[in-house]
């Protein structure tokens, strides 16, 4: 059964065929870890997880790379303002490295709560400075860079195709610029390497052929994707906000360095809105996954909600929609738990389900097939087997209802009670120690599974 995906580069649906038979290289832009991720951020990662699961359901072996931006992302995508990591450190009074580690761990905890498949590799920008410098040196040797007082910049005027991904009117942008671009030759030019300010001290800075400083935001993804997937790989993903700046700049760097855009397919998840406005940290309206679990909601209810809308459509978040998703997930799990084991996957429903997800990840219609299966006259044992197969793509952990009902042994129950008390007292170090002891006893405890 053919897999068809929407490619932002061509602005249309395309038959997916891997560059190497049976293998898929998938690069997903990860978080900038200066603060907690909000549920709008997480919607993109749910879409990318579904993509990976659908690729695997089609028999592909997926090499999945996710970056962690812990340096270089300025408060403006136009290379203005201060580094988000340095700003987070200044506001909190904590070292930038501590900030990065704290929010990386928080993000990865949200990742696990949403039942996202672990990537093949997490790669941090700060651990790939050498690769980024080497990439910039190639660009410099090929004549695509110039120097200003504050850094090394990429000259976008050298490429007639710059901005094609976003269909940017680059000539109009350059001719119509009404604000100062400083020493930049064009408003679309972007920083590859920024020099450390002379009158202040940065925590994250490195020596380079051009002077002490730090990499720009866009170069990290170009360098790391090339290192781990090659200069030409299958799919590059991100949020729709990456199209006009970050991914356009990645493509410019890849074409200048390697003679080709980095990926064959470019896929983007659309925004989650709150009161008809894009959710963002800067606007102060972000809602964390922890906010939902604090109300006793299973994080996978949010995952279910995201599956009810196509990834290329804006999803409006509301309490009513989340409550409905929570009810639907509970019904689905209870139905699964009520069915006996020992059945076989129903081929007709399996084909219908695969047909929907293979049509550009049409999860809303795949969920309709799921509920049609439950209402059908298929034997209950076969329903269970078929739902288990569907769940390899849905990722809703349908078997959880039964696992949650298993009684914990006395010694494990005591450790759980102690950890619950430690969390009430905000003794996070003790809570982590108790979680490790539970793990040694074979029990995986996540915060959403303990109701304080």
- Residue spans of the domains in the chain: they are 4-269, 292-404, 412-449
Question: β-strands 277-278, 263-269: how paired?
Answer: unpaired
Q: What is the pLDDT of residue 194?
A: 95
Q: Per-residue confidence of the chain (452 residues) as pLDDT tens digits?
A: 899 999 999 999 999 999 999 999 999 999 999 999 999 999 999 999 999 999 999 999 999 999 999 999 998 776 778 899 998 898 889 999 999 999 999 999 999 999 999 999 999 999 999 999 999 999 999 999 999 999 999 999 999 999 999 999 877 666 555 445 678 999 999 999 999 988 877 899 999 999 999 999 999 999 999 999 999 999 999 999 999 999 999 999 999 999 999 999 999 999 999 865 666 655 445 799 999 988 888 999 999 999 999 999 999 999 999 999 999 999 999 999 999 999 999 999 999 999 999 999 999 999 999 999 999 999 999 999 999 999 999 999 998 765 444 456 677 778 888 888 888 787 878 887 887 777 666 565 655 444 33
* Element holding 154 (H helix, E strand): strand 151-154
**Sheet bearing 277-278, strands edge to edge:** 277-278, 272-274, 315-317
Q: What is the pLDDT of residue 54?
A: 98
Q: Which two tokens stand for residue 44?
A: 């993109």
* Element holding 168 (H helix, E strand): none
Question: β-strands 233-239, 151-154: how paired?
Answer: unpaired
Q: Classify 126 as helix, strand or coil.
A: helix
Question: For 362-368, which contacts have Cβ atoms below 8 Å and span 24 or more sequence positions?
Answer: 362/310, 363/50, 363/307, 363/308, 363/310, 363/311, 363/394, 364/307, 364/308, 364/309, 364/310, 366/307, 366/390, 366/393, 366/394, 367/307, 367/308, 367/394
Rounded distance between C-alpha atoms, residue 184 and residue 152, angstroms: 10
Q: What is the pLDDT of residue 268?
A: 98
Q: What is the pLDDT of residue 176?
A: 53
Residue 222's φ and ψ, nearest 5 degrees, are -60, -45
Q: 30 with 44: CB under 8 angstroms?
A: no
Rounded distance between C-alpha atoms, residue 181 and residue 244, angstroms: 18
Q: What is the pLDDT of residue 95?
A: 93
First-residue to last-residue Cα distance in the chain: 47
Q: What is the pLDDT of residue 431?
A: 82
Q: What is the pLDDT of residue 445?
A: 61
Give the Å distances, CA to CA, from 38 to 33, 75, 284, 413. 12, 17, 11, 32
Give the Å distances, CA to CA, from 358 to 22, 71, 302, 372, 393. 16, 37, 23, 18, 11
Q: What is the pLDDT of residue 350?
A: 98
Domain boundaries 4-269, CATH class: alpha beta
Radius of gyration of the chain (CA): 24
Q: What is the pLDDT of residue 447?
A: 55
Which of 86-109 are b and which e, b meaning 16 or more Cβ less than 10 Å from the residue's Cβ?
bbbbeeeeeebeebbebbbebbbe
The CA-CA-CA angle for residues 421, 423, 428, to 5°, reads: 125
Q: What is the pLDDT of residue 452?
A: 36
């Amino acid at each position: 059964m053919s897999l068809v995906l929407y490619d932002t580069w061509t602005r249309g649906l395309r038959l997916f065929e891997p560059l190497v038979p049976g293998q898929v290289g998938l690069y997903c832009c990860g978080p900038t870890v200066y603060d907690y991720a909000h549920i709008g951020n997480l919607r993109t990662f749910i879409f990318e997880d579904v993509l990976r699961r659908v690729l695997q359901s089609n028999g592909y072996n997926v090499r999945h790379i996710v970056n962690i931006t812990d340096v270089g992302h300025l408060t403006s995508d136009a290379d203005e303002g201060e580094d988000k990591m340095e700003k987070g450190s200044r506001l909190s009074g904590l070292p930038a490295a501590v900030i990065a580690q704290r929010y990386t761990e928080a993000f990865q905890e949200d990742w696990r709560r949403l039942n996202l498949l672990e990537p093949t590799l997490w790669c941090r920008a700060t651990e790939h400075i050498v690769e980024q410098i080497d990439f910039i040196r190639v660009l410099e040797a090929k004549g695509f860079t110039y120097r200003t007082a504050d850094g090394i910049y990429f000259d976008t005027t050298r490429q007639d195709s710059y901005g094609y991904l976003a269909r940017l009117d680059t000539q109009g942008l350059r001719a119509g610029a009404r604000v100062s671009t400083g020493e930049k030759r064009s408003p679309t030019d972007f920083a590859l390497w920024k020099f450390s300010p002379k009158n202040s001290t940065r925590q994250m800075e490195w020596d380079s052929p051009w002077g002490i400083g730090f990499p720009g935001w866009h170069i990290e993804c170009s360098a790391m994707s090339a290192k781990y997937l090659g200069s030409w790989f299958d799919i590059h993903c991100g949020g729709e906000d990456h199209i006009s700046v970050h991914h356009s700049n990645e493509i410019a760097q890849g074409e200048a360095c390697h003679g080709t855009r980095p990926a064959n397919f470019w896929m983007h998840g659309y925004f989650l809105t709150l009161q008809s406005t894009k959710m963002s940290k800067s606007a102060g309206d972000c809602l964390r996954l922890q906010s939902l679990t604090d109300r006793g909601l299973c994080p996978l209810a949010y995952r279910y909600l995201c599956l009810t809308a196509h990834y290329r459509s804006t999803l409006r978040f509301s309490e009513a929609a989340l409550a409905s998703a929570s009810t639907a997930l509970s019904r689905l799990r209870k139905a699964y738990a009520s069915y006996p084991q020992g059945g076989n996957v129903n081929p007709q429903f399996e084909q219908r389900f695969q047909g929907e997800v293979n049509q550009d990840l049409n999860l809303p219609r795949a969920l309709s097939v799921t509920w049609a299966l439950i209402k059908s006259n298929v034997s209950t044992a076969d329903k269970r087997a078929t739902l288990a197969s569907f769940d390899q793509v849905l990722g809703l952990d349908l078997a959880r209802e039964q696992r949650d009902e298993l009684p914990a042994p006395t010694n494990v129950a005591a450790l759980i009670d102690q950890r619950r008390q430690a969390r009430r007292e905000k003794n996070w170090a003790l809570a982590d120690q108790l979680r490790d002891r539970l793990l040694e006893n074979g029990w995986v405890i996540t915060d959403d599974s303990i109701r304080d």
